[in-house]
Structure 1
């Protein structure tokens, strides 16, 4: 029996919270450059895997674990999702976990907890 890729289904209330979160994060400056032109990056692999947050290949870790990135650092020439690889990107620009923790502090919300990863400590 062949299975299709399953994605998490959110309730309408959860979807509304996620949409509001993404809107707020898209308004934040890029965590690498400080540019106000940011896109929303779904964090995956690298430092997240190091702390036990993993998924199957090609699946998002969580709609809650997102950071603002300028286009070039998201999918452009220096992009985490455009071929330089997560580990190389994190060595150059900082870990996604550290960037996520800073976003949590700026928002006053523990994104790891919202994503169901309570084991990650964030001091708000």
Structure 2
């Protein structure tokens, strides 16, 4: 029988709750301006639309490879993207593929669109939103 983990002490629970509230407040402040919210929504909506289209192609590509992908478990693998696009006869230059489907530009560690989506979805920071504001046209 597995050992149960000890529960947190009342002091640890208070500290944990305070940390959660602080992080929530940080996100709330980062999203406070109408411009930040508009950039956030525009980007998330456009990325979601792109992701749905790509995953439609990916599912068909995987089926052509004899695999039976679960529709709710398709993941973007940047190394696979060129093959999926070629399968669907979609031509994107390497720079656009990198900008859309990679998480980071390896040299600068700036977010590419997929990495930006991950950052904004999980814990948007003022730094991420500032980067989005300056790179929005690259992403769109």
TM-score (norm 2): 0.30
Higher helix share: 2
TM-score (norm 1): 0.33
Bigger relative contact order, structure 1 or 2 (CA pairs below 8 A, ≥6 apart): 2
Give 1 or 2 for the bigger CA radius of gyration. 2
